[in-house]
Structure 1
Amino acid sequence: MRKFLLLLLLSPALSAPAQDTALYKGMTINLDEVVVKAKRIGFDVNGFIKRVEDDTTFYRAFKNLRLVGFTADNDIRITDKKGGKTIASLKSHTRQVMNGNCRSMEVLDEKTTGNFYTKKGNYNYYTAELYANLFFTKGTVCGDGSGHAKGSLERHKSQLKQLIFNPGKPISGVPVVGSKVAIFDRDLMRYYDFSITSETYAGGADCYVFSATIRKDLGSIDRAEVVIDELITYFNKETMEIVGRKYSLSYKTMVFDFKVRMNVQMTKAGDLLLPALITYSGTWNVPFKKRETADFTAKFTAFER
């Protein structure tokens, strides 16, 4: 009996996964058992974190949508403040067609409810306008559209897209929030728990997973210094390409507040990295506009170059 009790007490410790930590520019990173073993046979933890920090492929993947033909399933819902009742919506199927360096869009079918459009046919909601700016094409557009944004509204859209689709990097020209998203900055690292784990992602890809999660013990003063609540990125072990990312952002002041969650799954078309599925859930409250709460799902298929 005494031997049995001793084994029972020891068994959790024996079966617990081996944990380890590593350092990167003052950042403490927790490693799971698989990563610890990989490190022993040559996995470069610092090199991996450097890749995460310097990555531009994720943001570029969204811009790559302007270089290929594709079919899109678009589902946008504007809801009440509690997120339960839909007050306006759009569901559509669209096809982007490429002609050399130029693109145009065909609306295969579309159904809207509520006041999704204004009487003049414009978008009645900021989320819809941003979605259209990202994934819809009006008329014929040539090039990838990466020129400098003109006007304050266009600059604001560009900055918002960087905030949403390039999380973790500082955003110039954005007061208050712009510097609070740079999670690799030494002043912000201390607010997060970092880890590298090994997981199987959707579709069966064996991945290294980098996670940055806001510390649970932060007080209200420290909490006001950060915008990214969670940033999780999945890297295919064989190619080290991003296959998925999920993240949440939030911030609150007396003047404005927002809370956004996104999940993005990637795919490849030839040598181009492209988003295959995007889900978004968010609420925004900015000066001179009503609070807007929305969800959207975008699915992209049938890529052609």
Structure 2
Amino acid sequence: MKNILVAFGLLFSAFSLKAQQHRFNPDTILTVVIDSPVNIRSHRLNAQDFIDAILADTGFYKAFRNMKRYGFTAENNIYTYDKKNKIDGEIHRRIRHTVVNGKPKTEYLLKQDKGNVYKKNGKYELYTVELFDYIFDNAYKSEFSTDDALSEGGKNGSYKAKAKALMFTPGRRVSGLPFLSSKTEIFSRDMRQFYNYEFARGKYLDSIPVYRFKVIKKPSTADGDVMINELTTIFDMRDFKILGRYVDMRYDNLFFDFNVKMNIELIPYNGELLPAKMSYQGNWDIPFHKEERSSFLIFHRDYHK
């Protein structure tokens, strides 16, 4: 596992040098080697088994909540872009996370900002970066609730809470999004008609046997009928826990214009699942905010008690 993460770090360094003038789009492909596709109808598992597991899952939220109880090293790299997709802002963080007397502590080994990152009032220039900080920096400290529940705040909830719900619980209804709330509920009776399901076996991190379950927009589906083009979920074959998730979301209406790809991967450690890698690339144009273009590449390594 350590060698794989080191390799990812070297890969990022190479791309970082290349990205000085042009957009850096991190790899959002899940680290899974597929052995063979499987016909769901001929297998003891069926599509509904995977759907039920996805809807019931709290593992991703727990993983981010639980990591503050461990020591680890984090590498956070964020790029923002102008309308020509040239880099106009960079945030680089190397963080040592420890637990001292039962309380989480973060130490910045590297804290480097370049370009157009902050407003005059000290807040982040981009709402997307603020959202990243809300999810990850809080997770490094103590802000994540000990409750297993994850709420998007209902109709009047903040966009941050709704984005967090989309990230950790895709496939469920997220209320309060104009013309989109029903489209997030991709397993509902009305939405299933727009998707195909694919099922395969494979290996994750070279050794863990997994199932890959893809929910993909049908070629015949019009762009305006869905907002989630693909949801791929990686299940540990041994206990059916979710180890990885890839989401491709695109939509354009009077209220939203976005094109986002995001990949999150977890690793088993000490009997728990903990975050290992997150990559993100996307453009957002939402009400009361300027258009935003950004990408993230985040690694967590060297977990220890």
Common fold: TM-score over 0.5: yes
Amino acid in structure 2 at the alignment position of 1:87: D
Classify the secondary structure of the residue corresponding to 1:81.
coil
Provide closer, same or farther for how the CA distance between residues 154 and 291 of structure 1 changes in structure 2, counting only shifts above 3 A.
same
Distance in 2, matches of 1:99 and 1:148, equals 30
The one of 37, 57, 60 equivalent to 1:58 is: 60
> Within the alignment, does 1:279 sit opposite 2:282 as a pair?
no
> Within the alignment, does 1:87 sit opposite 2:88 as a pair?
yes
Amino acid in structure 1 at the alignment position of 2:259: K
C-alpha distance after superposition, 1:73-92 (max 9, x if no partner): 01000012343x10001111
Distance in 1, matches of 2:175 and 2:240, equals 29
Q: Is the 8 A contact 1:211 1:230 kept in 2?
A: yes
Q: Is the 8 A contact 1:105 1:136 kept in 2?
A: no
Q: 1:231: Cα distance to partner?
A: 0.6
Amino acid in structure 1 at the alignment position of 2:95: T
Classify the secondary structure of the residue corresponding to 1:132.
helix
Distance in 1, matches of 2:193 and 2:239, equals 31
The aligned counterpart of 1:289 is 289
> Within the alignment, does 1:230 sit opposite 2:259 as a pair?
no
Q: Which residues of 2 match residues 90-239 of structure 1 at below 5 A? A: 90-99=91-100, 102-137=103-138, 141=142, 144=145, 155-219=158-222, 223-239=223-239
Amino acid in structure 1 at the alignment position of 2:249: L
Q: 1:143: Cα distance to partner?
A: 6.3
Q: 1:293: Cα distance to partner?
A: 0.4
Of all paired residues, the percent bearing the same amino acid is 30
Distance in 1, matches of 2:285 and 2:268, equals 36
The aligned counterpart of 1:252 is 252
Q: 1:137: Cα distance to partner?
A: 4.6
Distance in 1, matches of 2:151 and 2:219, equals 40
Distance in 2, matches of 1:100 and 1:198, equals 43
Comparing both chains, which one has the higher relative contact order based on Cα–Cα distances under 8 Å and sequence gaps of 6 or more? 2
Q: 1:35: Cα distance to partner?
A: 5.7
Q: 1:118: Cα distance to partner?
A: 2.9
The aligned counterpart of 1:71 is 73
The aligned counterpart of 1:17 is none
The aligned counterpart of 2:5 is none
Q: 1:175: Cα distance to partner?
A: 3.4
Distance in 2, matches of 1:70 and 1:87, equals 30
Distance in 2, matches of 1:36 and 1:148, equals 34
- Paired residues, number: 267
Provide closer, same or farther for how the CA distance between residues 113 and 175 of structure 1 changes in structure 2, counting only shifts above 3 A.
same
Amino acid in structure 1 at the alignment position of 2:63: A
Distance in 2, matches of 1:260 and 1:177, equals 15
Q: 1:182: Cα distance to partner?
A: 1.1
TM-score (norm 2): 0.77
RMSD: 3.0
Q: Is the 8 A contact 1:35 1:198 kept in 2?
A: no
Provide closer, same or farther for how the CA distance between residues 145 and 295 of structure 1 changes in structure 2, counting only shifts above 3 A.
farther
Amino acid in structure 2 at the alignment position of 1:125: L
Distance in 2, matches of 1:111 and 1:80, equals 20
TM-score (norm 1): 0.77
Q: Is the 8 A contact 1:103 1:137 kept in 2?
A: no
C-alpha distance after superposition, 1:223-254 (max 9, x if no partner): 32321100111112123222222121111102
Distance in 2, matches of 1:149 and 1:211, equals 24
Provide closer, same or farther for how the CA distance between residues 288 and 36 of structure 1 changes in structure 2, counting only shifts above 3 A.
closer
Provide closer, same or farther for how the CA distance between residues 170 and 99 of structure 1 changes in structure 2, counting only shifts above 3 A.
farther
Q: 1:142: Cα distance to partner?
A: 6.4
Range with bigger deviation, 181-190 or 161-170: 161-170
Provide closer, same or farther for how the CA distance between residues 145 and 293 of structure 1 changes in structure 2, counting only shifts above 3 A.
farther
Q: Is the 8 A contact 1:104 1:140 kept in 2?
A: yes
